[in-house]
Amino acid sequence: MTDQMTAAVIGLGSMGWGAAVSLLRAGIATRGVDIRANVLDKFTAEGGTSFTSASAACAGADVVFIFVVNGTQAEDVLFGSGGAVAAAQDGTVFVTCVTMEPSRAVDLAARVEAAGMLAIDGPVSGGSAKALNGEMTIMASGRAEAFDKAQACLDAIATKVYRLGDAAGKGSQVKMINQLLAGVHIAAAAEALTLGAKIGLDLGMLHEVIQECAGNSWMFGNRGAHIVAGDYTPHSAVDIFVKDLGIVTGEAADHPVPLSQTALALFKEASAAGMGREDDAAVAKLLATKGGIKLPGMS
């Protein structure tokens, strides 16, 4: 069955690249779309078919995954000039893996379905390493028909696919809550480790000990390792959480989200200080500077 399927992945960033390579590994003919020539060359070398045009890649595809940065880009890819939906055959499944406002996810899915396609609101989690191994988690909602048609592709890129309802929006709502926690936990990890450095604790020791204690979180373990190593290579950038926590505070409306607001302010300040494209753990450098200390990797 997988030999007869054709998938397209629009956006070969860290998560999209992992998804595309995982689809190839599963024996699914896969088309990759990106604006970077070197990435497309690399994808061709992996056995994929490379395109610079979303419309060209989606013509004749059975399942299309959208892995762009935000909702605005997703809308443009789907419905803008040379958009994917206009070029696709009826019944193509569009899986929108973008972290965006749930209200926008609902709107885009309705427009995709009105054009004769199938839509899955399917934001992802797990990070670049899990994406590369086909081990992402997908928080998805959409019609059963869409899931049935895309199942082989979903199985190729994820170990967990949560089906959260038959209408778009629920996937993006759950992802929004995940990003609330992730952003707050990164900020908390940065605060904890910089305070530890300020009072003279060895960061490696502190990071190791806390991971065996009740105060640990996945983000403390993962991003804390970046801070201890002084390595801010962007696996997920500061500006991503400016966007994602902005979604949280915007969609929350009149519901109080004080921790999200505080974390968002921290990420915004780090971005304004020139750290927007660095790893999101770089908020620790901002706190260290304010506290008058130097962390590993700081000059």
Task: For residue 198, indicate whether it is catalytic.
Answer: no
b/e per residue, 28-45, with b = 16+ CB within 10 A? bbbbbbbeeeebbebbee
From 132, 147, 168, the end of a domain falls on 168
Q: Which range of residues forms the domain containing residue 240? A: 173-291
From 147, 168, 189, the end of a domain falls on 168
Are 116 and 211 contained in the same domain?
no
In a domain, 298, yes or no: no
279 DSSP 8-state letter: B
Are 226 and 82 contained in the same domain?
no
Identity of the amino acid at 225: A
For the chain, the residue count is 299
Both tokens of 294, joined, read 């130097």
From 168, 183, 214, the end of a domain falls on 168
Are 201 and 259 contained in the same domain?
yes
Cβ pair 248, 267 in contact under 8 A: no
From residue 295, alpha-carbon distances to 38, 216, 273 in Å are 34, 20, 17
Are 81 and 211 contained in the same domain?
no
Identity of the amino acid at 131: A
In a domain, 299, yes or no: no
Cβ pair 100, 66 in contact under 8 A: no
Catalytic residue among 170, 175, 198, 285: 175
Are 130 and 227 contained in the same domain?
no
C-alpha 43, offset from chain centre: 20
Are 25 and 149 contained in the same domain?
yes
In a domain, 62, yes or no: yes
The count of domains in the chain is: 2
Q: Is 113 exposed, middle or buried (0-12, 13-18, 19+ CB in 10 A)?
A: middle
Are 149 and 182 contained in the same domain?
no
Identify the CATH number of the domain in which residue 258 sits.
1.10.1040.10
Identity of the amino acid at 185: H
Looking at residue 3, what is its pLDDT? 52
263: three-class secondary structure by DSSP: helix
Are 160 and 205 contained in the same domain?
no
Are 152 and 182 contained in the same domain?
no
Find tokens 């199985």 and name the residue.
155
Are 161 and 213 contained in the same domain?
no
Are 110 and 247 contained in the same domain?
no
The rounded average pLDDT for each run of 10 residues, N- to C-terminus, in the chain (299 residues) is 80 96 97 97 98 95 96 96 94 97 96 98 92 96 97 97 95 97 98 98 98 97 98 94 97 96 98 98 98 95
b/e per residue, 58-91, with b = 16+ CB within 10 A? bbebbbbbbbbbbbebbbebbebeebbbebbeee
Identify the CATH number of the domain in which residue 52 sits.
3.40.50.720
pTM of the model: 0.91
Identity of the amino acid at 72: T
Both tokens of 120, joined, read 């899955």
In a domain, 297, yes or no: no
In a domain, 296, yes or no: no
* Alpha-carbon gap, residue 210 to 187, rounded angstroms: 16
Are 39 and 127 contained in the same domain?
yes
